[in-house]
Amino acid sequence: MSEIRPNRRDVLERCIASGLLLGGVTVTQRQLLGFWEQAEAAAHKPTSAEVLGPFFRKGAPNMKTLRGAGDLGFPLQVVGKVLNTKGLLVEGATVDFWHADHAGRYDTKGYKYRTKVTPDGTGEYAVDTILPGHYEDRPAQHIHYLIAAPGHKTLVTQAYFATDPFFEGDPAKNWNKRGIAHNRELVLPVKLFEGPAAPRAEIRFDIVLERA
């Protein structure tokens, strides 16, 4: 049986049909496609920085699966690469990654929803987790990142979700709402995958580091 690989428009149409991208508000396919294209156009500019926040903990284990059986929250796969400004893979990168649980709470005593991964031989990192919840101080869903690599500036940043109801269905317009996200390129398109397993969302966050 041949594999059917949906193109970007197919995926978006499916997301819209499923309601995942709607977040309870009206958004047009044109807006979503436009936003996606803006994100792709920014591919080789250094990724912009964000604040570290108060919840970073050193020493997270190298875990590709953060989502436990029975965890509440929508399954989320986070994938990406660590690149330099020429678009080449950065050797020896580590990606520290932490976020709140489905209810917007951080694990401040242990390492739930925290990991420090190294990209594999293809340069790709992939983490299986859940969509973070909202919390009062920063009510946009986000994942914190700290990325380090030899010969490159360490980057502290965050990833946001274009489907977050916080952006009211128009992230291209509302990305800076309440001054939380500092760069629209950090508000990432979200794909929804259906299939034999449970549905999951996916974001791709390719990180571009500057040389030190």
**Residue 156: CB minimum distance to Fe ion, A:** 12
107 to 51, 95, 100, 111, 117: CA distances (angstroms): 19, 18, 7, 6, 18
- Find the binding residues for Fe ion in span 15-54 (CB under 5 A): 53
> What residue number has its CB nearest to Fe ion?
53
Q: Which is nearer to Fe ion, 53 or 73 (CB)?
A: 53
Give one DSSP letter per residue of 68-135, joined into a string.
PTT--S-EEEEEEEEEETTSPBPTT-EEEEE---TTS---SSS-TTEEEE---TTSEEEEEEE-----
**Residue 151: CB minimum distance to Fe ion, A:** 29
How, if at all, do strands 200-204 and 191-193 pair?
A: antiparallel
Three-class secondary structure assignment of 44-73: CCCCCCCCCCCCCCCCCCCCCECCCCCCCC
Q: Which is nearer to Fe ion, 56 or 193 (CB)?
A: 56
**Residue 14: CB minimum distance to Fe ion, A:** 30
**Residue 53: CB minimum distance to Fe ion, A:** 5
Q: Which positions from 49 to 88 touch Fe ion by CB under 5 A, shown as an x/- string?
A: ----x-----------------------------------
**Residue 84: CB minimum distance to Fe ion, A:** 27
What is the chain's Cα-based Rg? 17
Number of shown-chain residues binding Fe ion (CB under 5 A): 1
Q: Which is nearer to Fe ion, 84 or 158 (CB)?
A: 158
Find the helix or strand (DSSP H, E) in which 42 lies. none
- Find the binding residues for Fe ion in span 146-185 (CB under 5 A): none
Q: Which residues bind Fe ion (CB under 5 A)?
A: 53
